[in-house]
Structure 1
Amino acid sequence: MNIAAHEDRPGLRERKKRATWAALHRAALTLVDSRGLDQVTVDDIAAAADVSPRTFFNYFRTKEDALTGVDPHYVDELVTTLRDRPESESPVAACRAVLLWDCERVLRGEDLWEKRVRVATRHRDLFQSAWATSAHLEIELTRALAHRMGLDPKRSPLPGILAGTTIVVRRSAVRTWVLGGFTQGYRDVLDSTLAQLVHLAALDPATTGSSPQSPPSTPSTPRTPSTSSTPGPPPPA
């Protein structure tokens, strides 16, 4: 038995709270996607999640908050994942491992992404809180990377550059996946995005005198998109 893994696992009460949060978020997205924002109430969302309206307000202030679904544990869990990587691992390799961990999280909610895109396209102003979470994540990743690299983030830009790059890679992969109509697997898109970043970083025409080579192509696993129109940009998550 892995004692450390067992101790890190949330307790039963916490797991129930997270399940309720997820059920309310799913209900809000599903109802607003099918009916429209103005035709959905807090009571509707609570009923669909099989909880009381009072319970709803233990998790969200408004139906709009439930709709955007910024996981309150996301930043802490991602930063903890980075801090728990082996000390022998390079900062870049550790960030790649974090992105792969996040990939599993994205895929656990894969069925919600098409709903999220449709709702975000109709109500773009609702997802500003997700951008605030992205900014908070960048700050916390910078701190964790600075500690790992033994650098002062106030004096060295490197931790911030790597933290920002990690977030942009993730955002770019999600955006490519979504705007492509979900015709490729997200893991394939993420791997391709990372490969193209490595390719770009390796280019130095000024010193090599060579012309840039074509970047690695994105692997494709065609399937019929389930949306009839081009989806708008997804909210950052």
Structure 2
Amino acid sequence: MDSDSELEVGPGFVTYCCYHTNVYNTSFLGTDVYLSYTLGSLVELPGLLLVLFGLDTLGRRWPMVIVTGVAGIVGILSILFRNGSHVSVLVLSLLMRVCLTAEYDTIMQYSAEVYPTVLRGRGLALLRFAGTLSLYVSPPIVYLSRLDPTYPMLITGVMSLVLSILSLFLPETKGKHMPQTLQDGELFGADQRILDFPCLGDKGEPTRCDSPNASAAVSC
């Protein structure tokens, strides 16, 4: 349970930080700020659609891994365009926004399902607190764009890529009974394999939290 909590609070901090850094950095991309903000708002819709259809199809864990991985790769690749046109950097930033929007909404859904009922409120409050702390980290990252417009994207890209790897170790919650007690939280996802794919019906070994004796009764 402690490791799951750490793997939720950490992603919460990183997700908030990366998302808000991307939003704030819109003003420093060298393009028209009004056009950049308008396009940034529009591309959030595809991110929301990814969440809408992805969570029920692929589960929670793999969409988290995929969108953070893509955001990380795009952010790191931005260093190749440091001497390119502002438009190319804007396109990469918008692509990151799609992934970060999906990541942001996924972590909100995911975290509520990982914490057991007796700790869910406190767990979500802790995640929000970690997210609020990240708002103090975002501005310094954004102002690195005065040195190079791709630095904020590079930093958030590295953070997203690390988060993608860590997300592999989170328990899948799709189709699972939500943990109710601390014991359920300890057992939740204990028998899960890293390469389990809910969309393929491959659930691996039954998780002990799903046993008839478990107190969990609500499925995700």
Report the TM-score when normalising by structure 2.
0.29
Specify which structure has the bigger relative contact order, considering alpha-carbon pairs within 8 angstroms and separated by 6 or more residues: 2
* TM-score, with length taken from structure 1: 0.28
